[in-house]
Amino acid sequence: MSLWKKYSWIAYAAVFVGVLGHASTEFVAVLSGVSGPELSVWRFLLGGLGLIVVALMLPGSRNLIAPLRCDCIKIVGLSLLGVTGGYLLFHWSLDFASVAQVATLVTTVPIFVALTNLFVNKQPITTAKIASGLCALIGISLLITDGYLAKLAGSTDNLIGIMLALGCAAAVAAYSVMVKPLICKYGALRMSALTMFIGSLGLWIVVGVFFDVWISTARLETMPAGALAALMVIALWNTTITQFLWIGGLSAVPDITRGSYLFFLKPVIAALLAIVVLKQTLTAIQLFAILVITASVAFEALIPHLKQKKTALDDATANQSCPATIPSDR
């Protein structure tokens, strides 16, 4: 049994590190000089290849053919859904909606995880999850738009971009939930490697077809050493390592919806990185938004402990209210 299956806190920690990888991608991308669809193709091609290499190095995950023989359609389908489809919709949405709108809407991934988990696994969505999720989304909207909600609302011209961004969040969330049975069957490393690499091949094709950007190794030869190093960091750290931790951690946590709520911290981490790395100042509204988001995620994380304490208190109260049994004289 893997450690993150045995100890749930390790699984939650893995998911959090995965969120760190998501949040820091844009900062490293600035150093690489690569952006847009080209960045996603390089990220998942190189990152997926890195996962393949790691899987081949370990005896327990070396057999990558066996899963494809037994569940080829499922694996390819999830690869196209979570990587190819999800990131195609992401970049397409930027053609119609603002960066603030897309960034806010993509952070609805935990909401779609809860909905997918409801329909696929019949896991009910509790009132506490709904409340904490809505509070987190309000804080994210304030943080990303710097308090100007009109920027988020936009106009009717943004409707297509908004729908595409929501489609991206839904695709990534559905992939995260539906890949769990395959991970239980074949392991997180093999499934991460196969889906990331197969999805990257699909992404390479659709980016070439729809964006007319065909990625080739000739592009790498023209990159400066610093830009190439940054691209390798995105591939290895932000994809090979953190995508594996994100996917594997979510599959190992006892409550996948609760685990996915850590994704709400992505804009908070990005804001803190902007303060530390870019020396940006923190406004009062941004500080308030960070507190709201963090409190919402913390509340969701503490719910199991609060329930345990309430149950223990109720049991203790019930024991005190019951009279002790008086032994019979006979």
- Structure confidence by residue, pLDDT tens digits, 211-269: 888 888 888 888 888 888 988 998 999 899 998 999 999 889 888 888 888 888 888 88
The reply to whether 50 falls in a domain is yes
The reply to whether 327 falls in a domain is no
Q: H or E stretch including 154?
A: none
Burial of residue 34 (number of CB atoms within 10 Å: 0-12, 13-18, 19+) = buried
CA distances from 139 to 287, 293, 303 (A): 10, 5, 20
Alpha carbon distance 311, 168 (integer Å): 40
Torsion angles phi and psi, residue 95, rounded to 5: -75, -15
Weakest-pLDDT range from 48-52, 168-172, 185-189, 313-317: 313-317
Residue pLDDT, tens place only, 8-33: 889 999 999 999 988 888 778 777 88
The count of residues in the chain is: 330
Q: Kindly tell me if the per-residue pLDDT of 155 is higher than 70.
A: no
The reply to whether 100 falls in a domain is yes
The reply to whether 195 falls in a domain is yes
The reply to whether 156 falls in a domain is yes
**How confident is the model at residue 269, as a pLDDT?**
84
For residues 165-173, give the mean pLDDT.
91
For residues 48-73, give the mean pLDDT.
93
The reply to whether 7 falls in a domain is no
Weakest-pLDDT range from 148-162, 273-287, 288-302, 316-330: 316-330
Domain that holds residue 163: 31-216+243-314
Alpha carbon distance 226, 34 (integer Å): 12
For the chain, strand residue ranges (E) read none
In the structure encoding, which two tokens stand for residue 65, read together?
A: 């053919």
In the structure encoding, which two tokens stand for residue 251, read together?
A: 């599959």
Burial of residue 161 (number of CB atoms within 10 Å: 0-12, 13-18, 19+) = buried
Interior angle at CA 201, CA 205 and CA 104, nearest 5: 85
Residue pLDDT, tens place only, 287-321: 887 888 888 888 877 776 666 665 655 555 656 65
The reply to whether 235 falls in a domain is no
Alpha carbon distance 244, 160 (integer Å): 31
Tally of domains within the chain: 1
pTM of this structure: 0.79
Alpha carbon distance 121, 81 (integer Å): 19
In the structure encoding, which two tokens stand for residue 135, read together?
A: 């509070």
| H helix runs in 7-64, sequence order | 8-32, 36-57
The reply to whether 329 falls in a domain is no
